[in-house]
Amino acid sequence: MKTATNFALSLLVILAIFVSNSFAFDKQGTTGKITGRVIDAKDNQPLIGATIKVEESNLGAITDDNGEYTILNVDVGTYILVASYIGYDNQRVPEVRVSADLTTRVDFSLKVTGQSEITTEEIEIVGKRNAIAPDQSGKIIGQEFIDNSGIRGIENIASTTAGVIQDERGNNINIRGGRDGETAIIIDGVLTTNPLDGTSTAFVSNSVLEELSVLTGGFSAEYGNVLSGVINVTTKGGTDKFSGTAEVITDELLSDDASQGYNVYNLAFGGPLIPSKDMSRFLNFYVGAERDFSLVYSPSWISDQLQTPNNVIPNYDMKRWSGNAKLNVDLQELNKDLPVQLKLGMSLAETARRGFLQSYLLFNSERNPLIKEYTNQYYAKINHQVKSDLFYEVQFNYFRSKYEEGDPQFLGDFYRYGDPASVAGLTVPGGAIGLDEYGVFALNNRVRNYYENSNTSYWSGSFNLTSQVKKNEIKFGGEYK
């Protein structure tokens, strides 16, 4: 017995060393859980064996000897819970919000059938809004705020959280005093942060955002390699009902001295691929696309002090398109004994924008650098609910980010940067056109001798196991990248 124990301990040590060298702790929480207690409304005694069901899903649980229940592996979203018990009236709780990596508590108090008081109107219990766990700091930003705030973009929305500071131009955020690039941005379980410099160029349209979980401190070990904070993004998924949005935003109708050439067009749509009563929950999807462009990439209050035409900084425009898609396959809809879900997803974004050089403003803005950013990610996830209190996930990810910056006319054609035949006004090969008489502003056609091209990609595979043991949730997982 002692030999076996020593062998087991040695194996654990070897496994720990192996995991620490080849794996990173999982940081891809995309589901939450619902827990609570069911009691008799008259004597407050626990009801053993009561059934709690999540409407329009295969999720549910049965209460234990203490009347308590737990429903694991619940996707982010808003649900309706129904509790039932033989001899008692059913109780329905709408607006139950589930957030990634958080626990939503819903308690029930059931009345014996026939003993309910007669009322003139229906009474419903409304679920409480989720909050960050007491040992963490941050904010849960739901769809209602995203739709009504008028703020666009992941980092801009996250900056409404206490402890998150955004610079004046809205280009970078800092969490609790951390540096630029120290914040991990996770979209549907895929880390979108460039491992070389910590930046993220990922973009998700507001029309497909479901929830943002902004953690500014106290995050657990599953968020490995995080220095300042975490922005965990969940996008919308399909259901058994069709839904969609269309949006057009423009300031082109304003006067010339007020318009910044700001335009946004997006379309999102989802629902069942097979719209029949028996198959609508088996296969469903949600897709969204956005096209936006503006004459000014990063507007500033000082632009109207520069006396530029229409108060617009010249040659500082931005054009971007983005797309997201999700496909859910629930095999339990075909076979009740096969509680397996397959989820596929992708996110694409491509941006072409101009940089801003102060010295080029007066005479040489057409030579402001051209910046191209391209990001794409794909993932496939298998989710198996082994028991009501045990499930595991296997996920495969691919992420790629490309960045290119250079002269807008030459870009990657290095030899033309200092070629007099290509640069009008240049007389010496390898030279540069000078500045004005004050040495402040570049003269027309001065070329910035700078070019950057980076291409970063990775693939990863992860395994996560979650189990509920009485009131304790146990998680184990690892990721190879």
Q: State the average pLDDT over residues 121-141.
A: 59
Q: What percent of the chain has pLDDT over 70?
A: 85
Name which residue leads in pLDDT, 116 or 237: 237
Checking DSSP bridges between strand 31-40 and strand 108-110, what pairing results, if any?
Answer: parallel
357 CB contacts (<8 Å, ≥6 apart)? 368, 369, 442, 448
Instruction: Please give the backbone phi and psi of residue 457, each rounded to the nearest 5 degrees, phi first.
Output: -150, 155
Domains of the chain: 24-110 (2.60.40.1120), 236-480 (2.40.170.20)
pLDDT in tens, 36-57: 999 999 999 999 999 999 998 8
pLDDT in tens, 371-391: 999 999 999 999 999 988 899
SS3 45: coil
Measured between alpha carbons, how far apart are the two ends of the chain, in Å?
Answer: 38
Look at the alpha carbons of 161, 32, 288, 394 in this order and tell me if their dihedral is positive or negative.
positive
Task: Assess whether pLDDT exceeds 80 at residue 69.
Answer: yes
Task: Assess whether pLDDT exceeds 60 at residue 194.
Answer: yes
User: What is the C-alpha separation between 276 and 51, in angstroms, rounded?
Assistant: 27
Point out which residues pair with 37 in neighbouring strands: 68
pLDDT band (50, 70, 90) for residue 2: very low
Please give the pLDDT value at position 252.
84
Q: State the average pLDDT over residues 113-121.
A: 54
Q: State the average pLDDT over residues 232-242.
A: 91
Q: State the average pLDDT over residues 151-167.
A: 86
pLDDT in tens, 354-365: 999 989 988 999
Task: Assess whether pLDDT exceeds 70 at residue 455.
Answer: yes
Report how far apart, in Å, the C-alpha atoms of 26 and of each of 38, 222, 389 are: 34, 5, 20
Identify the CA nearest to 201 among candidates 432, 375, 453: 375
Please give the pLDDT value at position 413.
93
Please give the pLDDT value at position 302.
64
The two tokens of residue 373 are: 């950013």
Span of 193-202, 278-287, 388-397, 459-468 with lowest mean pLDDT: 193-202
| 3-state SS string for 228-242 | CEEEEEEECCCCCCC
Task: Assess whether pLDDT exceeds 90 at residue 28.
Answer: no
pLDDT in tens, 341-351: 999 999 999 99
Task: Assess whether pLDDT exceeds 70 at residue 6.
Answer: no
SS3 155: helix
Q: Confirm if 325 and 349 have CB atoms less than 8 A apart.
A: no
Identify the CA nearest to 399 among candidates 191, 200, 195, 153: 191
Q: State the average pLDDT over residues 297-309.
A: 69
Task: Assess whether pLDDT exceeds 70 at residue 254.
Answer: yes
Task: Assess whether pLDDT exceeds 80 at residue 120.
Answer: no
Q: What percent of the chain has pLDDT over 90?
A: 52
Please give the pLDDT value at position 9.
37
Q: Confirm if 400 and 362 have CB atoms less than 8 A apart.
A: no
Span of 123-127, 293-297, 422-426, 433-437 with lowest mean pLDDT: 123-127
The two tokens of residue 235 are: 């996008």
Alpha helices (runs of H) in 242-308, residue ranges in sequence order: none
Report how far apart, in Å, the C-alpha atoms of 56 and of each of 27, 59, 125, 299 are: 29, 9, 19, 45
pLDDT band (50, 70, 90) for residue 200: confident
